[in-house]
Amino acid sequence: MPWQYRRWTADHPLPLGASERAAEGQEIRAGDVLAAGTTYGTPVRISGARRLGVAPNDLARVLRVPVGGDVERRTVIARTGRRFARAVSSPIAGRVIHQRADGDLYVAPVVGRWVVRSTLDGEVTRSDEACVTVEGSAWALQGIAGYGPDAFGEIALAVDSPTDEVQPSRIDVRMRDRILIGGARATAESITRAHACGVAAVVAGASPAGGLRVVYGDAATASGATTGPDAPTVLCLIGFGVAPLPREVFAPLVALVGARAAVHTSTARLFVFAPENAGDFAQGAPSLALSDDWLGTRPMDEHLALAGVTRFASEIEADAVETRDGPVPVANVLAFDAPRTPRN
Amino acid sequence: MTTSTELVASVEIAHEARTERVPSGAADGAVLRVIPGDVVRVAALLGRDPKLAPAMAFGALAGGASLVALAGTHDGRTFVERAALLRDARPDLVVVLASDRRDADGLVELAEALRFGCAHQSPLPHILVAADERVRDRIAASCPTNTIEALPDVRTPAGREALVARLRAVRRRAQGDAVLRDEALEAAARAMAVDAKADVVVLDVTGGSTSVIHARPDGVVLGIHERLGVGAAADVVVARAGLDRVRRWIPRAVEAPALLERVFNRARWPDAIPASVLALTLEMALAREAIAHALADAERAGVPLEPMWAAPLVVLTGRLAQLPRAAQSLLVAIDVFGATGPTLVSRAPGDALVATGALAARGRVATLPTIDPIAIVAEMWPRRSAIVRVRDDKGVIEERVARGSFLLVPTKGVVEIVMPGATVRPRAEQLELGVVIDARGRPLALPPRDAERIPTLARWYAALDVLPAEVR
């Protein structure tokens, strides 16, 4: 089924330097801040346990500023003794970021701040320095590749039919903070215009691979691209180039216009926060066919019948299915929800 | 190699989205599975010796792992930069290499950065340490929650073998009973070299991996395995090589954006079939670049390639062997694999060779399947035009060869080639194509402009009758 309502899990990896995080068990809504932190400049290593004359394991006992705590210049971080005191103070303003096994400490200046927001309505099931995981129920549509940061907003249509291409002229600032639903294609022009107009994300059947490289650089691959928070967000649902959306995918999107939604780019999922009974969205997965020259994909509305072993223009002989455009190799026909990554 | 007494009825070989069973049909007993294996992400923490980085790269190539981060004691990065590098790399395994005791403090600094960056990664990466015992103890103190294992010096063959064994164990993960595809191919290459009493090179290109394996008749095998391919890893090939390097192999004008679209679609369509001639030529172009980059990476890692170039037998497997025409497989191989002497190129279509290798890798004796000899390739770079005589059952054919020549001499029966300064008597009884005389020189020089490049490629394609008639 392309659309599924069930309980989903979304991982949100954190950069270094988290200073606050949602607690496990906390209820959260998509778009809420899950964690916030700081980025660090060049750290300074300062002698800790050795200078104080304590064992490294005992350093925590004499710390006046715990690891993770903020310090000003000359702040005393640790101190021992009364009459003949020994102290360690910070040479710079910043944060105590790490204690080494030998008892030395690192203090780093704070040069920036970051926040990570939830892409699901639900409950925090894991929260540590590396990742915050949220589990919750939602309607979801699995795409094949997500580009850019996670995004949140209300669903809005940018096309009239599932075969249309998103036209830059249809995008303006009234679509700010919306998740735009494109049809068969979202070009680089429409993606950049949408981003300039404050659109949260563009979701389409396909996007030109060359256009994605223009927007995200040469590191963008068919599996997606992760970027900083200032890049546009794009979700390709079916493929690259041109890929009209099947009726079973597009019709629920039309019905869900105005609903709150989020794009989780690392898993290439569109989550829509609507009640389970919002509509009869959970329909069978339509078939998709890759064109013979791999330039695009199309939904197969017709009834598929096997055509037997067929010799194609490339002289490859393979089992084929009959379509109105001629035989297509069985291997080039997949269900919308079929796995699109190889098995190990 | 392990030996098992368990009987195996058939071997199941996993491809991108399907599995093939050898022999085909329902299994009547235990099934041995051949899998590509999980992607293993390896980060290396290196001491000051400049030989450590190539040795690590060699080990990663031999073990089929992805080297995702290299941090050195003298790389000039700050503590935070190192921690961020390691955190973003999300390593499954961390290898610490140091040959110098003076590296101890620097390595501990790197280990502290690893703890700072990856302390909460789940699962925690295991740390393999190839260094002095005292260094290992200090690293263990810096990363108390990570599992620390000792590793021999990876600059030595024994150390590399130990690293490869460890990497393969991780790639199998929970599927401990399965044979990795590269393991099976290495065993098959070894068996073929012993059988032929000659050096054998196996070139295997699949959707997600490329392997170049050199086996000697004394049983020594050297394999390099990379996550480059013509399917799921096609986009990785383009990211590594650049689109223009892939496009240059296509004998017609193709717009770069449209080509990239095809590559991306193929990467996300497991086991897709190239039904059109253009898609087929794209697959051939990707295979060339995948092999070329695997070889280039091997060369950078210090892998000796000269013995490979001199191997008299080259066997093609995987998608490379399944191209519709033998000439297609042959052209891909000889365009990027620069053999230095006359070479018999064969291909092993289907999965029989992989299945045999899998059985051999598990210590079972299996008969080598028939492989199809395609052609004998005689590479030369004559100073002036020279006569090459090809003798077969039909008689003697003389060809005048000048620099740049590329021609096929169809043959029948046992072949003998008389080249300037050398007479070669290959063992092939019946060649599918014949003798290919390749005087194009190495490395191949392709003109950058389409107006010159396309006719050059078209001439090479026409010489071997590579493509169906309508696109010539």
* Predicted pLDDT of residue A204: 97
CA nearest B54: which of B113, B97, B108, B5?
B97
Q: How far apart are CA B307 and CA B298, in angstroms?
A: 13
* Predicted pLDDT of residue B466: 96
CB within 8 Å: B122 and A223: no
Question: Which chain B residues are within 8 Å of A16, Cβ to Cβ?
Answer: 80, 83-84, 87, 116-117
Starting at the edge strand found earlier in the chain, the sheet holding A317-323 runs A305-311, A317-323, A326-329
Rounded to 5°, angle at Cα B421 from B419 and B423: 55
* Predicted pLDDT of residue B380: 87
State mean pLDDT over B198-214.
Answer: 97
* Predicted pLDDT of residue B423: 67
Q: How far apart are CA B73 and CA A186, in angstroms?
A: 46
Q: How far apart are CA B269 and CA A332, in angstroms?
A: 8
Asked whether the whole model's pTM tops 0.80, one would answer yes
pLDDT-derived band at A304 (thresholds 50, 70, 90) equals: confident
Q: A128 CB near a chain B CB, below 8 Å?
A: yes
State mean pLDDT over B274-279.
Answer: 95
Chain segment A235-255, per-residue pLDDT in tens = 999 999 999 999 999 999 999
**% chain B with pLDDT above 90:** 79
pLDDT-derived band at B4 (thresholds 50, 70, 90) equals: very low
Question: Which chain B residues are within 8 Å of A295, Cβ to Cβ?
Answer: 258, 261-262, 265
State mean pLDDT over B236-263.
Answer: 95
* Predicted pLDDT of residue B471: 45
Q: Is the pLDDT of residue B3 over 50?
A: no
Mean of all residue pLDDT scores within chain A: 94
Q: How far apart are CA B94 and CA A247, in angstroms?
A: 48
pLDDT-derived band at B427 (thresholds 50, 70, 90) equals: low
**Ranges A48-57, A303-312, B1-10: which has the least confidence:** B1-10
Hey, what are A194's tokens? 């949408």
State mean pLDDT over A264-271.
Answer: 97
Q: How far apart are CA A64 and CA A77, in angstroms?
A: 5
Nearest to B14 among A290, A332, A343 (CB): A343
Question: Which residue of A lies nearest to B181 if distances are taken between CA atoms?
Answer: A344
Q: If contacts are CB pairs under 8 Å, which of residues 145-164 in chain A contact chain B? A: 145
Q: How far apart are CA A230 and CA A177, in angstroms?
A: 14
Chain segment B100-147, per-residue pLDDT in tens = 889 999 999 999 999 999 999 999 999 999 999 999 999 999 999 999
Q: If contacts are CB pairs under 8 Å, which of residues 234-273 in chain A contact chain B? A: 239-241
The residues with which A96 forms a beta bridge, in sequence order, are: A107
Provide ipTM, 2 decimals.
0.94
Strand A305-311 relative to strand A297-300: parallel, antiparallel, unpaired? unpaired
CA nearest A233: which of A177, A293, A285, A158?
A177
* Predicted pLDDT of residue A282: 80
Nearest to B258 among A40, A97, A295 (CB): A295
Question: How far, CA to CA in Å, does A270 sit from each of A141, A149, A187, A195, B350?
Answer: 5, 13, 19, 18, 40
pLDDT-derived band at B472 (thresholds 50, 70, 90) equals: very low
The residues with which A79 forms a beta bridge, in sequence order, are: A87
Starting at the edge strand found earlier in the chain, the sheet holding A297-300 runs A297-300, A287-290, A333-335
Element (H, E) at B11: strand B10-14
Chain segment A277-302, per-residue pLDDT in tens = 998 888 888 999 999 999 999 998 77
User: Residue B54 — φ and ψ, nearest 5°?
Assistant: -60, -35
* Predicted pLDDT of residue B5: 47
Compute CA A202 distance to the chain's CA centroid, rounded to the nearest angstrom. Answer: 13
Q: How far apart are CA B3 and CA B327, in angstroms?
A: 39
Q: How far apart are CA B342 and CA B404, in angstroms?
A: 17
Q: Is the pLDDT of residue B419 over 90?
A: no
State mean pLDDT over B3-24.
Answer: 80
Contacting residues for B442 by C-beta, under 8 A, at least 6 apart: B338, B379, B381
CB within 8 Å: A314 and B14: no
Q: If contacts are CB pairs under 8 Å, which of residues 23-52 in chain A contact chain B? A: 40-43, 45
* Predicted pLDDT of residue B217: 96
* Predicted pLDDT of residue B470: 61
Mean of all residue pLDDT scores within chain B: 92
Please name the residue that has the structure tokens 């650089």.
A217
Question: Which residue of A lies nearest to B77 if distances are taken between CA atoms?
Answer: A42
State mean pLDDT over B312-327.
Answer: 96
Nearest chain B CA: its distance from A36 CA (Å): 17
CA nearest A262: which of A41, A23, A31?
A31
CB within 8 Å: B263 and A222: yes
Chain segment B347-401, per-residue pLDDT in tens = 998 999 999 999 999 888 778 898 999 999 998 888 889 888 888 888 999 999 9
DSSP annotation string for B363-429: T---PPPP-EEEEEEEE---SS-EEEEEEETTEEEEEEE-TT-EEEE---SS-EEEETTEEE----S
DSSP annotation string for A195-229: HHTT--EEEEEEE-HHHHHHHH-TT-BTTEE---T
* Predicted pLDDT of residue B418: 83
Q: Is the pLDDT of residue A336 over 60?
A: yes
Nearest to B120 among A129, A211, A292 (CB): A129
CA nearest B206: which of B283, B318, B282, B292?
B318
Chain segment B52-79, per-residue pLDDT in tens = 999 999 999 999 999 999 999 999 999 9
Give the torsion through C-alpha atoms of B68, B72, B76, B81, to 10 deg: 40
Instruction: Answer whether A148's CB lies under 8 Å from A265's CB.
Output: yes
